[in-house]
Amino acid sequence: MYFRKIERQTKCKIFFCDPHSPWQRGSNENMNGRLRRYLPKNFNIDIIEQDYLNKIARLANNTPRKCLEYFTPNEVILQHWNRFCRTTL
């Protein structure tokens, strides 16, 4: 299992939601909705350029979120990484 390797290398624990438990995935479902702005249903993903996907990721990771007290995901992960993980990015 690849996630175990990541846990060992980063000294950070990885958690998964239980199957058939949508209440555990609220922010994930919210992100899916945000991505639909750029990648509508039935869109042929095979024709998308990597640069466009990178742009979507940058926008998503630099958008402040209410659930993160209006910090961006990038800010939160860097704070967490610096506080709890023993390796550097």
* pLDDT at position 74: 95
Query: What are the C-alpha distances in Å from 80 to residues 4, 60, 68, 85, 88?
Result: 19, 18, 12, 7, 12
Average confidence (pLDDT) per 10 residues, the chain, 89 residues: 88 87 83 90 90 95 93 93 72
Q: Would residue 6 count as lying in a domain?
A: no
Q: Would residue 89 count as lying in a domain?
A: yes
Q: Would residue 13 count as lying in a domain?
A: no
List the domain range (segments joined by +) for residue 81. Answer: 25-89
Q: Would residue 35 count as lying in a domain?
A: yes
Number of domains the chain is built from: 1
* pLDDT at position 89: 54
Q: Would residue 63 count as lying in a domain?
A: yes
* pLDDT at position 24: 84
8 A C-beta contact, residue 43 and residue 17: no
* pLDDT at position 57: 95
* pLDDT at position 60: 94
